[in-house]
Copies of this chain bind each other. A is one copy, B any other.
């Protein structure tokens, strides 16, 4: 029997490099599957159904909500975004580790539903570096940077709800570290219950 995979939620400050980190994680190791969100937002040019998003009508999305087909969902600027349960369940059951990039409210909901989920918060080494990364992203105005910083202050309030706080200073080091966290989580007693049960039963037989 395949061992059940680990559900890994990645959140973090805008500018912390979550996207690149996850892309690199999936590129290097084949134990990961990326969870694809469903949304009612219209596809942008170049976006592919089932790759960037599963594109849904509002009616279809609301049916998914009613049918409890989403692990979590939220509404931003008039559009729904959510995590379809079926794909995540299938991948985990098949022994693959599922990576999910969502913000804190979603992360909390996922942890409620799947208490075994590993919640990971990614941060630049310090606030100075975070500000620099936000500013260097391109042509953003000071106002946009200010509003992102304000959002970062809010996000920082929720870090204690996460399991791991990971510094993304050097991408390569950070990718390896996150992969190791997942590998080590496999040895958690809470995930090794079957193995512990087996060895316990075998021991009882021998000692009779």
Contacts and interface: CB of A to CB of B under 8 A. Distances in A.
A150 interface: yes
A16 to B, nearest CB: 11
A116 B163 CA distance: 13
A60 interface: no
Interface string A152-172: 110011011011111100000
For the complex, would chain A's binding face be called helix, strand, loop or mixed by DSSP majority?
Answer: helix
A184 interface: yes
A207 to B, nearest CB: 4
A172 to B, nearest CB: 16
B156 A200 contact: yes
A202 B128 contact: yes
B188 A156 contact: no
A39 interface: no
